[in-house]
């Protein structure tokens, strides 16, 4: 089977259509990369591009995207609702098929070194972090672009690549490797918000729940229901079915049933493999049995 | 999304490696076709090739495979355990993605006309059948190759394409369109064979069960268990989960539990979509949400 790497590149532009299209075309011009999806948000003034392909091709695609973005985006005039630190803001590399996270870290480091050499301060995060306090994106990005001039003078925030100097046009970039996320919501047949909040606390890591679950309880007012809204940040170690069955069990103590669930956005095939195995009790089922995967090689 | 057609071509050769490899290479030489899998069986003296790609490419691939097989296989000396009627024995076209069965029938008819023009009697079966008594492969193949000289003189067995004359070297070919099969076995934690046989009768079409289930009960002697072994011949109309839950319910009346299940060989993504929807209660989940499907387009 062929290796597949994903890259979700976030850039600080969500308004100028010709710039967004130009960045998309720069990716499409790279052989072997599939631009699976892209979308810009004018309020956030930010766009995200999803690249798929071999590790080598995706690295080239990320570089082409970066060149186009750096050429067209000037952070000194950027405004938007979403936290950001650079023209090319966050570039995670995500191993999808036949790749270990180490290999994705290698690609992130290669990308980071290349970008640093172009005069952009670069920080490594998640699996590529060089120290524990740089694992978390919100911690690195704290204070945003505006805090960079001061931050870069602090030895604790010496960049992992590139100059420890403020680059007003590009800002700084965060890159690294992480596991694919699964955004999973469970709707409960009750309008009692407290039940959703209690269950969210039962399953999320921060309150003693599953290690790779982040979540909150919400009201779905138009539906007269409540929702446990989650990100599963490592579906191999904390699989979807286990979280769902725990929620079912916790809800049943209040006599509440599950009305339905939502998988939001894209879902890796690997996350569904375990769903099929668990519920069908097909202990030996493997992704390569899916006919269509032959087309990925 | 791109159309994907599958072709499972069965040829009457399972022993001569150089012939089998030559047929595989003939397929590989056609642009746009993926040879997803092939294997030969010496006892059956038969091999099956799985082709994937656009309808146009798969048709070309099937033609290339056929030319190579007709050149190298002489039915007048063929022996093997598996029923067969021709050098190129059965060639079903199977719509996998973004295709209706009508379109697959169109490809089968184009292939059949091409093959008939080469002097091979051709019969259309399943969705491509020209009359009800030709829908079933076993009915068309009854008497096998050896019965062909007499059969072809019977007006009821006038071929759909090609001459109504016995071609000793090629024999006759059956082609058509069908839905993808799912081979699904359920193992029960009992050694009472009668329970598996009773449950097989409860779920299979012939005895009043689900319309698109064929099945039998077997003993798994080395495991001390029994098995309901099934072919689901239309997973959209008779989905996997419904059959499994019916078996679970029927088994429970004997106090018997499901030890596990097996999905044998290849499984179309479409068959798993409904599994995910049912068990996760994700009413809106669709295959295109799977990240990797972007690589299929």
Q: Other CB atoms closer than 10 Å to residue A194's CB: what's the count?
A: 11
Residue B225: the pLDDT is: 96
Instruction: Give per-residue pLDDT as tens, B149-159.
Output: 999 999 999 99
Helix (H, G, I), strand (E, B) or coil at B133: helix
Does B56 have pLDDT greater than 70? Answer: yes
Does B275 have pLDDT greater than 70? Answer: yes
> Tokens 């998640």 — which residue?
A126
Q: Do A282 and B263 touch (CB under 8 A)?
A: yes
Q: Do A289 and B263 touch (CB under 8 A)?
A: yes
Helix (H, G, I), strand (E, B) or coil at B290: strand
Chain pair A-B, CB pairs under 8 angstroms: 125
Interface list for A 86-105 with B (CB within 8 A): 96-97
Residue A1: the pLDDT is: 64
Residue A30: the pLDDT is: 97
**Active-site residues of A: which are they?**
82
Nearest CA of chain B to the CA of A89: how many Å? Answer: 22
Q: Do B295 and A292 touch (CB under 8 A)?
A: no
| Six token digits for residue B254 | 């004997």
Residue B293: the pLDDT is: 87
Does A189 have pLDDT greater than 90? Answer: yes
Tell me which chain B residues have a C-beta less than 8 angstroms from the C-beta of A53: 295
Q: Do B283 and A272 touch (CB under 8 A)?
A: no
| Six token digits for residue B12 | 């009457």
Closest residue in chain B to residue A32, using alpha carbons only? B295
Q: Do A37 and B294 touch (CB under 8 A)?
A: yes
Question: What integer is the mean pLDDT of A77-91?
Answer: 94
Q: How many CA atoms lie within 13 A of A168 on its CB side?
A: 2
DSSP-assigned letters across all residues of A134-178: GS-HHHHHTTTGGGHHHHTTSGGG--SBS-SS--TTTB-EEEEE-
Q: Do A290 and B268 touch (CB under 8 A)?
A: yes
Nearest CA of chain A to the CA of B230: how many Å? Answer: 14
Q: Do A261 and B241 touch (CB under 8 A)?
A: no
> Tokens 């071609």 — which residue?
B167
Residue A3: the pLDDT is: 92
Most B CBs within 10 A among A39, A179, A260, A292, hence the mutation to make, goes to A292
Residue A81: the pLDDT is: 86
- Per DSSP, A114 falls in state H
Instruction: Give per-residue pLDDT as tens, B190-237.
Output: 999 999 999 999 999 999 999 999 999 999 999 999 999 999 999 999
Does A74 have pLDDT greater than 90? Answer: yes
The verdict on B241 touching A (C-beta cutoff 8 Å) is yes
Tell me which chain A residues have a C-beta less than 8 angstroms from the C-beta of B296: 292, 295-296
Q: Do A267 and B240 touch (CB under 8 A)?
A: no
Tell me which chain A residues have a C-beta less than 8 angstroms from the C-beta of B289: 263, 265-267
Instruction: Please provide the average confidence, as pLDDT, over all residues in chain A.
Output: 95
CA distances to A19, A252, B47, B296 from B58, in Å: 40, 51, 18, 15
Instruction: Choose the closest CB to B96 out of A259, A279, A292.
Output: A292
pLDDT over 70 percentage in chain B: 99
Q: What is the model's pTM?
A: 0.86
Does A36 have pLDDT greater than 80? Answer: yes
Nearest CA of chain A to the CA of B90: how many Å? Answer: 20
Does A149 have pLDDT greater than 80? Answer: yes
Question: What integer is the mean pLDDT of B177-185?
Answer: 94
Catalytic option among B44, B78, B82, B205: B82
Q: A109 φ, ψ to 5°?
A: -70, -35
Residue A297: the pLDDT is: 66
Q: Do A36 and B291 touch (CB under 8 A)?
A: yes
Nearest CA of chain A to the CA of B35: how many Å? Answer: 8
Q: Domains, chain B, ranges and CATH?
A: 4-177 (3.30.990.10), 182-296 (3.30.70.670)
Give the pLDDT band of residue B41 (cuts 50, 70, 90): very high
Residue A282: the pLDDT is: 96
Does A296 have pLDDT greater than 80? Answer: no
| Six token digits for residue B60 | 């070309």
Does B1 have pLDDT greater than 70? Answer: no
Helix (H, G, I), strand (E, B) or coil at A273: helix
Nearest CA of chain B to the CA of A54: how many Å? Answer: 11
Instruction: Choose the closest CB to B258 out of A36, A37, A281.
Output: A281
- Per DSSP, B171 falls in state B
Give the residue among B267, B259, B197 at the shortest CA–CA distance from B232: B267
User: Is the distance from CB of B256 to CB of B195 less than 8 angstroms?
Assistant: yes
Q: Other CB atoms closer than 10 Å to residue B241's CB: what's the count?
A: 16
Interface list for B 153-182 with A (CB within 8 A): 180
């Amino acid at each position: 089977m062929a290796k597949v790497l994903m890259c979700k590149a976030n850039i600080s532009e969500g308004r100028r259509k010709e710039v967004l299209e130009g960045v998309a075309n720069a990716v499409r011009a790279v052989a072997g990369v599939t631009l699976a999806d892209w979308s810009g948000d004018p309020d956030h003034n930010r766009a995200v591009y999803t690249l798929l392909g071999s590790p080598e091709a995706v690295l080239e695609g990320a570089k082409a995207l970066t060149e186009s973005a750096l050429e067209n985006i000037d952070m000194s005039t950027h405004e938007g609702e979403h936290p950001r630190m650079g023209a090319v803001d966050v570039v995670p590399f995500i191993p999808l098929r036949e790749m270990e996270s180490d290999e994705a870290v290698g690609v992130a480091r290669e990308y980071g070194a290349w970008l640093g050499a172009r005069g952009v301060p670069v920080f490594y995060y998640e699996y590529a972090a060089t120290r524990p306090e740089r694992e978390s994106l919100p911690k690195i990005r704290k204070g945003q672009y505006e805090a960079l001039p001061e931050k870069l003078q602090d030895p604790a925030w010496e960049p992992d690549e590139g100059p420890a100097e403020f680059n007003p046009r590009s800002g700084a970039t965060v890159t690294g490797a992480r596991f694919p996320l699964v955004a999973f919501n469970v709707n409960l047949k009750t309008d009692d918000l407290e039940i959703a909040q209690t269950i969210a606390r039962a399953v999320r890591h921060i309150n003693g729940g599953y290690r790779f679950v982040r979540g909150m309880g919400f009201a779905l007012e138009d539906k007269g229901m409540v929702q446990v809204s989650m990100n599963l940040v490592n579906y191999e170690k904390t699989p979807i079915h286990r979280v769902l069955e725990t929620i079912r069990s916790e809800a049943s103590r209040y006599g509440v049933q599950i009305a339905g669930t939502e998988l939001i956005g894209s879902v890796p095939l690997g996350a569904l493999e375990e769903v099929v195995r668990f519920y069908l009790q097909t202990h030996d089922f493997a992704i390569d049995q899916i006919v269509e995967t032959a087309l990925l090689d």
